[in-house]
Amino acid sequence: MKVHVTDLKPGDCLLYDTFNTQGLHVLSKGTAIRVEDIAFLLRHRIDYVDIELRSVESGGAGSLQDHGLHEEFDQILLGYESIFLEALAQGTFTKSMVEDTLKPFLEVLDRQKDVVSLLLLLDREDLDTYEHSLQTGLLSYYLASWLGYSKEERYRISCAGLLHDIGKSQIPLSILNHPGPLTSLEAEELKLHTHFGYDIIRSSGLDETTALVALQHHKYADGSGYPGRLDPGQIHPYTEIVTVANVYLGLSTSRQGHYKQGLGTVLRQIHEMGFGQLNGNVVQALTGHLLPGFVGKQVQLSNGETGTIVMNNPLDLFKPLVKVNDMFRDLSRERSLFMDEVFV
């Protein structure tokens, strides 16, 4: 079980020997974590460690079990994998499988109020296509809710987010799993997944709008992206929601050689993209609902310091008041400092 150092609890047991970035041995396998060990790991700038699986009783407020999402997440992941593999083999999937896997999960999501913690808890390194698609569907659901869509529309938007990359089932694994930059020919072949996705969804009996999202989710409001023949004015509102979720997850995870960036850094980039490239209303829904949820969370600042966000700045949500040890840093005054990473 991988956890961030700031989410360690006294009594957690290390699963492996822990080393810092210089290769220096810091703590041994089997170490029962104490409060001073957490501080020691932070001083060595170690972000994540592997610990033995916590029991439900000892998991604490930050565990997946307490959020009721561990089994549901794995179940829908297996459901989407079945849909993807069926599309791979047949070029279509069974329509009822989407509803059978998605609706129970969304009922669980309706009970989750701390969306920031939820996203951080489900965050994993090197997301594969299955996990990325599931998280895109999840975040699209919340964005639709924040934008005032009805429950039925939220379901349809989440479904479109879940299926947006289904066309990748027709792309060779040698391209999907390529560790470095693609050649120009490989990049063009990868772009075809949007057309494949449209055809697969329509052939499987789903509605035109869901298929359009698969076709359009790499096309941006400023005309950039693909397909090239698509006019920005033709982009469906559901696509604009799924695109923001897709871009956010693409920036916040390490995939195909791209370094994972901190949540604070990612949200700043998304905010800037909201001035022309992405739909501004959808971006405001994302930042306006996630940033206030940072209060009380652990944060790493751009200078490497770790503290706790104690108060938002209503004039600039990206510049909160942060308590670092026994002092306070007002980021609205210390303009060179900014939030980089946020932890559960």
CATH code of the domain in which 6 resides:
3.90.105
Nearest by Cα to 297 from 287, 286, 311: 311
User: Which residues are 179's β-sheet partners?
Assistant: none
Q: Is residue 63 part of a domain?
A: no
66: pLDDT confidence band, cut at 50, 70 and 90?
Answer: very low
Structural domain including 302 reads: 295-343
Pair (225, 177) in one structural domain: yes
Pair (137, 264) in one structural domain: yes
**Run of H or E including 299:** strand 298-301
Pair (224, 91) in one structural domain: yes
Q: Is residue 65 part of a domain?
A: no
User: Average pLDDT in the 77-97 region?
Assistant: 92
Number of domains in the chain: 3
User: Average pLDDT in the 210-238 region?
Assistant: 92
Long-range contacts of 265-271 (CB under 8 A, 24+ apart): 265/338, 265/339, 265/340, 265/341, 267/291, 267/318, 268/318, 268/338, 270/244, 271/318
Written as six digits, the tokens of 248 are: 């956010």
Pair (272, 178) in one structural domain: yes
Q: For residues 155 and 119, which has the higher predicted lDDT (pLDDT)?
A: 155
* CATH code of 258's domain: 1.10.3210.10
User: Average pLDDT in the 77-88 region?
Assistant: 91
User: Residue 41 pLDDT > 90, yes or no?
Assistant: no
Q: Is residue 234 part of a domain?
A: yes
Pair (28, 103) in one structural domain: no
Looking at the chain, the whole-number percentage of residues with pLDDT higher than 90 is 51
User: Residue 58 pLDDT > 70, yes or no?
Assistant: no
Sheet with strand 306-311: strands edge to edge: 327-330, 321-324, 306-311, 298-301, 339-343
239: pLDDT confidence band, cut at 50, 70 and 90?
Answer: very high
Final residue in a domain of this structure, among 256, 276, 291: 291
Pair (39, 76) in one structural domain: no
Nearest by Cα to 200 from 322, 106, 75, 89: 89
Give pLDDT tens digits for 255-280: 555 556 778 889 999 999 999 999 99
User: Residue 167 pLDDT > 50, yes or no?
Assistant: yes
Give pLDDT tens digits for 285-305: 999 988 888 888 889 999 999
Q: Is residue 233 part of a domain?
A: yes
User: Residue 333 pLDDT > 50, yes or no?
Assistant: yes
Cα(258)–Cα(250) distance, integer angstroms:
9
- Say what the pLDDT of residue 59 is: 44
- Say what the pLDDT of residue 62 is: 41
Give pLDDT tens digits for 168-178: 999 998 898 88
Pair (179, 303) in one structural domain: no
Q: Is residue 62 part of a domain?
A: no
Q: Is residue 60 part of a domain?
A: no
Within 8 A by CB and 6+ apart from 258, the residues are: 250
b (16+ CB within 10 A) / e for 97-133: ebeebbeebbeebeebeebbbbbbbbbeeebebbbbb
Pair (119, 163) in one structural domain: yes
Pair (97, 229) in one structural domain: yes
> Roughly how many angstroms between the first and final C-alpha of the chain, as a whole number?
15
Give pLDDT tens digits for 305-314: 999 998 888 8
What is the pLDDT of the chain when averaged over all its residues? Answer: 86
Pair (307, 252) in one structural domain: no
Pair (267, 321) in one structural domain: no
Q: Is residue 318 part of a domain?
A: yes
Distance of CA 332 to the CA centre of its chain: 27
Pair (279, 306) in one structural domain: no
b (16+ CB within 10 A) / e for 286-312: bbebbbebbeebbbbbeeebbbbbeeb
Q: Is residue 316 part of a domain?
A: yes
Looking at the chain, the whole-number percentage of residues with pLDDT higher than 70 is 90
Residue 295 and residue 309 in contact, taking contact as beta carbons nearer than 8 Å = yes
Which residue type occupies 313? N
User: Average pLDDT in the 200-207 region?
Assistant: 97
DSSP letter at 15 equals: S
56: pLDDT confidence band, cut at 50, 70 and 90?
Answer: very low
